[in-house]
Amino acid sequence: MYGVHRGTFYGRWTPYTCQGNDGPTAAVRSAREETGDIATQIEAAAQPRLPLSKERILGTAVALADEGGIDAVSMRKIAQALGVVPMALYKHVRNKDELLDGMVDAIVGEIDPPAVGIDWKTTIRQRILSARQVLLRHPWASRVIEARTRARPDPTPAVMDYMESMVGILRAGGFSIDLTHHALHAMGSRLLGFSQELFEDSPSADPMPDAPPPQEMAARYPNITELVTAITHEQGSVVGPGCDDQFEFEFALDLLLDGLERLRTST
């Protein structure tokens, strides 16, 4: 089960994990201000009164990623934003992998705690949708989580807490151990609020200069063209917004939850 049964899930426990669930952490908030504009950066460089800490480093890293994507996060750039020499970071973070781990944990810590006294399905549903909102605020995070997962099997501490809570909800809701196990696998990455779409739905500004003409597309891809045409017309505008991602996410989520509920009551 997720590789945790071989003792490989004993993640290192680090203090920065214990953070509230009231939105962005203090470290992230202060770092946003720090990297918010160039004047502040220069000031920070001139007067590094605050002592460096793992929390400040992680906050700056998250802010950089939120603003410029994960490629904007490098040891050198974090150091620059903090007005510090790159090597200074290595006193608080072993290497870049540990930095990414810390960033993931800070994000996962933002997910709302589970509701209490409600049926399992509503509780799980709300929590997953909360996780989705958090990851929509930090679009880089799901890719970091996924890359980290492949590199090292032991989940980070905050992810462990999250999973523990999810398993508890299912067990309390009457799921057998086996069905709980299968349920976790079935929901997969949706547990953390992201479903990997094969194609991005973002509004691409560039209209694809070397695109084949529509007739050729319709001939080559008749079924896709039909689908695209129907959805475009349904929304009443040719350049309207794309799919309702929220609806599609909930559609798939409910398909799974309803199926699990059926299996739960059938045994």
Partner DNA sequence: ACCTGAACACCGTTCAAGT
The interface with DNA within residues 99-158 (CB under 7 A) comprises none
Instruction: Report, in Å, the least distance between residue 20 CB and DNA.
Output: 29
The residue (of 91 and 233) whose beta carbon lies closer to DNA is 91
Calculate Rg over the CA atoms of the chain: 22
Which of 92, 96, 121, 182 contacts DNA by CB under 7 A? 96
**Should residue 40 be labelled a site residue for DNA when binding is judged by CB under 7 A?**
no
**Should residue 10 be labelled a site residue for a copy of itself when binding is judged by CB under 8 A?**
yes
**Should residue 39 be labelled a site residue for DNA when binding is judged by CB under 7 A?**
no
**Should residue 49 be labelled a site residue for a copy of itself when binding is judged by CB under 8 A?**
no
Which of DNA, a copy of itself, none has residue 114 at its interface (CB below 5 to 8 Å by kind)?
none
For residue 154, give the DSSP letter.
Answer: S
Compute the distance between CA of residue 255 and CA of residue 190 in angstroms, rounded to an integer. Answer: 12
- Report yes or no: 266 and 227 within 8 Å, Cβ to Cβ: no
The residue (of 47 and 266) whose beta carbon lies closer to DNA is 47
The residue (of 94 and 220) whose beta carbon lies closer to DNA is 94
The residue (of 119 and 201) whose beta carbon lies closer to a copy of itself is 201
- Report yes or no: 164 and 113 within 8 Å, Cβ to Cβ: no
Q: Which of residues 225-264 bind a copy of itself (CB under 8 A)?
A: 226-232, 239, 242-243, 248-249, 251-252, 255-256, 258-260
Q: How many CB atoms lie within 10 A of CB 80?
A: 18
The residue (of 41 and 189) whose beta carbon lies closer to a copy of itself is 189
Q: How many CB atoms lie within 10 A of CB 200?
A: 8
Instruction: Report, in Å, the least distance between residue 85 CB and DNA.
Output: 4
193 phi-psi bin (left φ>0, alpha ψ -120 to 50, beta other): left
Per-residue mark of binding to a copy of itself, 113-152 (x: CB under 8 A): --------------------------x---x-xxx-xx-x
Which residue, chain included where needed, has tokens 């906050």? 59
- Give phi and psi for 82, each to the nearest 5: -90, 0
Residues 132, 165, 140: CA angle, nearest 5 degrees? 30
**Should residue 75 be labelled a site residue for DNA when binding is judged by CB under 7 A?**
yes
Q: Count of alpha carbons within 13 Å of 36, Cβ hemisphere only?
A: 8
